[in-house]
Structure 1
Amino acid sequence: MDYKQELITTIHDFGCNSELLEEKLIQLSEQAPTAVVIPALYEELERPALTRIRNHLGQCAFVKKVVVSLYAKTIAQYAKAVEFFESLPQPTAVIWENGERVTRILETLGDRNLDLSSFRGKGLAVWLGLGVASLDAEAIALHDADIITYERSYPLKLLYPLLEKEFGLAFNKAYYARIGSESRQLNGRVMRLFVTPLLTALTELLGYQNYLRYLNAFRYPLSGEFAMTSDLALNIRIPSNWGLEVGLLAEVYRNVAQKRIAQIDLGVFDHKHQTVGSSTKEGLQKMCRDILRSILRTLTETEQVVLTREHLHSLRIKFRRQAQDYTRQYFVDARVNNLEFGRHQEEVTTELFEAVIAEAGEDYFSNPAGAQIPDWTRALAVMPDLREQLRDAALTDAAEAKALRVVHNEAVSPV
């Protein structure tokens, strides 16, 4: 049995009594409310994963509020999203992140010299969702909208360790086995074929660095499922690129004592997959590029590491050897577990990821600052009622969407 502990607390699944945990969490959440934040594109509503998520969330009596940060192109799309989430028993705020009301509020923030107009995508959605959720919740779980294997045990496991005050935890991150739910194969290519050999190669190259040891302690640092206290949510900067998950861990590293950080096993897990991409500006290659930039920046910022181009040349050589060794190990693991494993394609993907190192390094040298949304405490210093304004905008948008839906239904109903 795996009892191994890391630099951070690792919470294994030894066949725990989830019903007992759920009873405890329901009791705890009465005094310390919880929320779940879901960043989503409208397109996710048309896929089965989000329906499964909504149906399971509706059974979570320990979740007191749901906040959806939605990117929708039209009021009709937004209205469908509002209708989609109406069946949830919890109070649900659907933030139209690119709608007129939210845009105007953020423009007012820009007029006061805090310009967020350059930030887009998941990072902004996460930032908005955490801000609104922190109004009511003491513990906030966040996960993506494309989880195929979603169960109510996911938010249960993420939230419970934070509400049990005896544990003293402020941040809890998921880890799991990425096994394809349809085709039986190992997934998680960026983690397996890029991040794992990269961290090993960086450790060999730079020697002991506490930040690298910290990242290595996470069994799945790229997981998009995590939970944090509302206090922490207000005090961390949110990365706005595809390095969000690793960049968020860097913020946790800067703001939280390591004894207050945990990771928890969610079991076997699957969600929508990205393509590798035809260049380093798209797909998984872009993700690798942003991840490496984030790691290099944090090494300089927190560990005072001075990097040179010679380091990047050596890193590519060390990465190649480590990636080849890991690929052989994955092959053995997959074959024994009767999983599909295209060894040649794994090697090809590794070679593409290796080429990313040079470009990411040049990006870092030309722009080491990175792209992060300022933390909520700074935003609230500029506009103290910003969270309330965003919440009210979501409520008004939803009421308007419902009214339009009623008018539409009356117009098309037979006389």
Structure 2
Amino acid sequence: MGIRAAHWDDWSLEVLLGRKVELGQRVSLVVPARNEAATVGAVVSRVREALMETVALVDEIVVIDSDSVDDTFAVAASAGARVHRAAEIRPDLGTHPGKGEAMWKSLFVTSGDLVVFMDADLHDWDTHFVPGLLGPLLSDPGVQLVKGFYDRPGAEGPLEGGRVTELVARPLIALLFPELGSLVQPLAGEWAVRRTWFAGLSVPTGYAVELAALVDTVRAGGTSSLAQVDLGVRAHRHQALRDLGGMATQILAAALARSGVVPAAGGEAAVLRQYLRGLEPVEHVVPTVERPAAEAYL
């Protein structure tokens, strides 16, 4: 059985609100952010106005500031989010840099039964992303995790914004995790999950959080535990090609650990050497640590 797919407007807001009330579910929107002062305010304010003030689909908007050095914290707070610095959440558990760390830490400062994750660097998007992702969770108790997918237009074509997906994640899925092959965008930053399910997963602290969650979910619950929803169009800030090396390293580390190629612990870091010219490398220490299931600490 493949992974079911839906479209964001398969459910009306009225239907979703009715199901939320009937099930007694709370919804948290979590926005992990690092140096996204230029865009995080619009993400927060638009969702707050459309889905908290106009209709009560979202109960809280929480921004997890991951070591920003710009005004991300102040901008997000001014827009109406509750903002936490990742390093200050449960300091007894230590801190690591990375997107996955921010998402893992969010479990300690949110209350939603359903958690929706959205990236902070969105440019071309709309608030229907949130109800679209909630649709399968509110309509099917067997679905644990929902991935968004969308068109990603770029100046040079539709794949310009998905280089790590096409060159790393999709080949890994084809070779190691074929049961995930029907996912359109496995690394999409817009996804939703049941709180209790996410709390039971091991979470890479960096960019591998999305792929790891998919692999662990399908292994534990089968393809019926996953769903994907067409959200339309999405655009965000693209990174320089050289900067994607660390992201690819983290995704490979998580995939290899789940395939038994490297120890499950995965190690604390890898040294990535990149050559700009000649024989002089530029070395980057890439963290590959994973957080254990948060349920042990909640």
TM-score (norm 2): 0.79
Distance 2:147 2:291 in 1: 21
CA distance in 1, matches of 2:254, 2:143: 25
Question: What is residue 189 of structure 1 aligned with on the other side?
Answer: 163
Q: Does structure 2 retain, via aligned residues, the 8 Å contact 1:49–1:148?
A: no
State the Cα distance separating 1:376 from its structure 2 match.
1.4
Q: Does 1:95 align with 2:77?
A: no
- Structure 1 counterpart of 2:250, which letter? D
Of 288, 300, 308, 2:260 maps to 300
Q: Secondary structure in 2 aligned to 1:131? A: coil
* 2:145 corresponding residue in structure 1: 171
For residues 295-324 of structure 1, give each alpha carbon's deviation from its aligned partner in whole angstroms, at most 9, with x where no partner exists.
2221228xx9xxxxxxxxxxxxxxxxxxxx
Number of the residue aligned with 2:181: 216
1:123 counterpart = 2:123: no
Residue 73 to residue 290, structure 1, CA distance change in 2 (3 Å):
closer
Deviation at 1:53, TM superposition (A): 4.7
Aligned counterparts of 2:166 and 2:69: Cα–Cα separation in 1: 38
Structure 1 stretches lacking a partner, 5+ long:
1-5, 86-91, 110-115, 203-210, 278-282, 305-351, 353-362, 381-415
Q: How far is the alpha carbon of 1:74 from its aligned partner?
A: 7.8
SS of equivalent residue, structure 1 residue 132: coil
- Show the counterpart of 2:271: none
Task: Report the alpha carbon displacement of residue 12 of structure 1 after superposing the two structures with TM.
Answer: 4.2
| AA at the equivalent of 2:86 | E
Higher Cα radius of gyration? 1
Is 1:374 equivalent to 2:292 in the alignment? Answer: yes
Task: Name the residue aligned to 1:291.
Answer: 251
Q: Which residue is equivalent to 1:404?
A: none
Q: Which residue of 1 aligns with 2:42?
A: 51
3-state SS in 1 of match to 2:247: helix
| Partners of 1:219 and 1:70 in 2: CA distance | 28
d(CA) in 2 for partners of 1:38, 1:56: 11
> 3-state DSSP class of the match of 1:68?
strand
CA change 1:176–1:261 in 2 (3 A) is same
1:8-42 Cα deviation digits (max 9, x unpaired): 222246xx466xx111112222322211111112x
Contact 2:6 / 2:230 at 8 angstroms: preserved in 1?
yes
Q: Is the 8 A contact 1:170 1:228 kept in 2?
A: yes
Aligned residue pair count: 270
Residue pair 2:43, 2:120 contacting (<8 A) in 1 also: no
**One-letter code of the match for 1:33?**
R
SS at match of 2:259: helix
Q: Secondary structure at the match of 1:176?
A: strand
Q: Which has the higher strand share?
A: 2
Contact 2:41 2:75 in 1 (8 A): no
Matched-pair identity in %: 26
Aligned AA (2:178) = R
Alignment CA distance shift 1:71-1:298 (3 Å): closer
Match of 2:63 in 1: 68
Where does the alignment leave 5 or more consecutive residues of structure 2 unmatched?
A: 265-275, 277-285
Q: Which whole-Å CA distance do the structure 2 matches of 1:191 and 1:168 have between them? A: 27
Query: C-alpha distance in 2, partners of 1:76/1:268?
Result: 27
Match of 2:15 in 1: 24
Give the letter for the 1:95 counterpart: H
Structure with bigger helix share is: 1
Among 3, 13, 23, the alignment partner of 1:8 is 3
What is the CA–CA distance in structure 1 between the aligned matches of 2:293 and 2:120, rounded to whole Å?
24
How far residue 198 of structure 1 moved from its aligned partner, in angstroms, is 4.6
Could you say what secondary structure the match of 1:44 adopts?
coil
Asked if the contact 1:130/1:140 (under 8 Å) is kept, the reply is no
Match of 1:409 in 2: none
Give the match for residue 236 of structure 1. 201
Instruction: Supply the distance in 2 between the matched residues of 1:23 and 1:179 (Cα, whole angstroms).
Output: 31
Instruction: Say whether the 8 Å CA contact 2:41–2:79 is kept in structure 1.
Output: no
* Aligned match of 2:191: 226
Could you tell me which residue of structure 1 aligns to residue 29 of structure 2? 36
What secondary structure does 1:284 align onto?
A: helix
Give the C-alpha shift of residue 72 in structure 1: 5.2
The letter for the 2-side match of 1:10 is A
What SS does structure 2 have at the residue aligned with 1:148? strand
CA distance 1:8–1:74, shift in 2 (3 Å): closer
Q: Residue deviations 1:44-92, cap 9 Å, x none?
A: 12x146415522442012111111111356898644542232xxxxxx4
Give yes or no for contact 1:38–1:129 (8 Å, CA) kept in 2: no
CA-atom RMSD in angstroms: 3.0
What TM-score do you get using the length of structure 1 for normalisation? Answer: 0.58
